[in-house]
Amino acid sequence: MALEKTVSFKSSEHTIFGTVRDAKDPENATFLLLHGFAGTRDELVIPSVGIGIFEYAAAGLAGHSSLRIDFRGWGDSDGAIEETSYSTQIDDCLAAMDFIATQPNLGNGEVILLGWSQGGLVASSAAGRTNRPSGVALWAAVGEPKASFPVWSAKLLICKA
């Protein structure tokens, strides 16, 4: 069984918490799992197995390590939910990619982004902004934030160009 451990790193002044699942082969790219709106790093619990879908997915990423994070204001990470915007979540994603790059057991810094729902919007934005990840997987990603989150869209769409 792979080893999981809680880690933390800084994104701006906030401490972001995550869970690393080490793979047998640390040379393979590391998956960075990004949760959806109002989610956490384990995402929805699968009733039949009793664990979150991201924990379950991390276990199935044969030969790859993973890092799943709580965006600032959610789960164990610092900050208030009211501080959350697409921009802050993109910043947290970029900080997580920087963290992965400093860890010798995490794929030599090679990252594949996997975003669920709003995390998919964050993954695609971060990938387009940096051209750093070697792959991007979108899982039920938000494509039109104003349609998906009409009440929140004015606040959440405060993004850097």
CATH class of 4-156: alpha beta
Residue 156: band (very low, low, confident or very high) from pLDDT cuts 50, 70, 90: low
How would DSSP label each residue in the chain?
---EEEEEEEETTEEEEEEEE--S-TTSPEEEEE--TT--TT-SEETTTTEEHHHHHHHTSTT--EEEEPPTTSTTSSS-GGG--HHHHHHHHHHHHHHHHT-TTSGGG-EEEEEETHHHHHHHHHHHHH---SEEEEES--S-HHHH-TTTHHHHT----
pTM: 0.88
Q: What is the mean pLDDT of the chain?
A: 88
Are 51 and 45 within 8 A, CB to CB? yes
Domain ranges, ordered by start, for the chain: 4-156
The answer on pLDDT for 158 being more than 50 is: no
Mean pLDDT, to the nearest integer, of 65-75? 97
Tens digit of each residue's pLDDT (9 = 90 or more) over 113-147: 999 999 999 999 999 999 899 999 999 888 776 66
The answer on pLDDT for 11 being more than 90 is: yes
Identify the pLDDT of residue 137. 94
